[in-house]
Amino acid sequence: MPELPDVTVYAERLEAKVRGDVLQRIRLLNPFLLRTALPPIGAAEGRRVTGVERMGKRLVLALDGELFLVLHLMIAGRLRWLAAGARPPGRIALAVFEFGGGALVLTEAGSQRRASLHLVAGRAALAAMDPGGIEPMASDVAAFAERLRAENHTVKRSLTDPRLFSGIGNAYSDEILHRARMSPLALTRTLGDDDIARLFEATRAVLAEWTARLREEAGDWPQKVTAFHPAMAVHGKFGEPCPVCGAPVQRIVHADNETNYCARCQTGGKVLADRALSRLLKASWPRHIDDLEK
């Protein structure tokens, strides 16, 4: 799923292309994409774009008259920019937003259709869609600590909770926790002030570095938005060497999500239980990273 760095770059590139331009036409190629009925989607046509914003993991096109188009890409949704008159890709195209200078195409790979489009009127209606998480890059350590300690969950769950923190998902939470040298299963109310300060600095550093990296890679438009980057330290790197200590990266699989971590750097060498394998292996499940390296 595109997260804060990815959506930030999408917003910046799109604003450079369409701010001040008129949204001439919206073509919905999949009727299930649109999740609102009022105002009717046609009300957005013919309006000038006043700005492009990020709201958590959502992209917001602000139109004159205080109308807002809200795009949520979910897991497989992506955005393409086409020259005016160019044909959109085949079955994966869900919607085309036509402007004077080109067209924005929303695509979604796979058979599941999770991406969504809302049209809302007024800032109050837009704010009602915001889960309420604080912006990590705009908060201070006190606000960060307050959110972490609001509920007693694993730090991985808290970082990815949109009610607590805005824009952080599975991929960047793995990178943040590795940078902070912290177990993904550490409970938030057990964290001391020094732990939270370290996590706060890691959060800001990782998000800033990856936003800058993706800006540079994007050029005119982000062509390949993915949760798996070769330069990541642990996310998607199961079995590969940790770039800090060289130990093989471990994972915890739960439902559709996979958490990656370095046992030597983050858990004192302890290999955390993986529901996908530890119950099967039982007594043979390795307890320490050294057991895997023998």
pLDDT per residue, tens digit, the chain (294 aa), is: 899 999 999 999 999 999 999 999 999 999 899 999 999 999 999 999 999 999 999 999 999 999 999 999 999 999 999 998 899 988 899 999 999 999 999 999 987 889 999 999 999 999 999 999 999 999 999 999 999 999 999 999 999 999 999 999 999 999 999 999 999 999 999 999 999 999 999 999 999 999 999 999 999 999 999 999 999 999 999 999 999 999 999 999 876 789 999 999 999 999 998 755 444 444 444 555 555 554
pLDDT of residue 278: 45
Sign of CA dihedral 230, 172, 202, 196: negative
pLDDT of residue 273: 80
Contact indicator for 22, 47 with CB cutoff of 8 Å: yes
pLDDT of residue 290: 55
Tokens of 126: 């837009």
Tokens of 239: 């079995």
Q: How far is CA 38 from CA 35, 58, 122, 123, in A?
A: 10, 20, 12, 15
Distance CA 123, CA 60 (A): 11
Distance CA 205, CA 148 (A): 18
Nearest partner of 263 among 287, 231, 236, judged by Cα? 287
Which domains can be identified in the chain, with CATH numbers? 4-128 (3.20.190.10), 141-293 (1.10.8.50)
Phi first, then psi: give them for residue 213, nearest 5 degrees: -65, -45
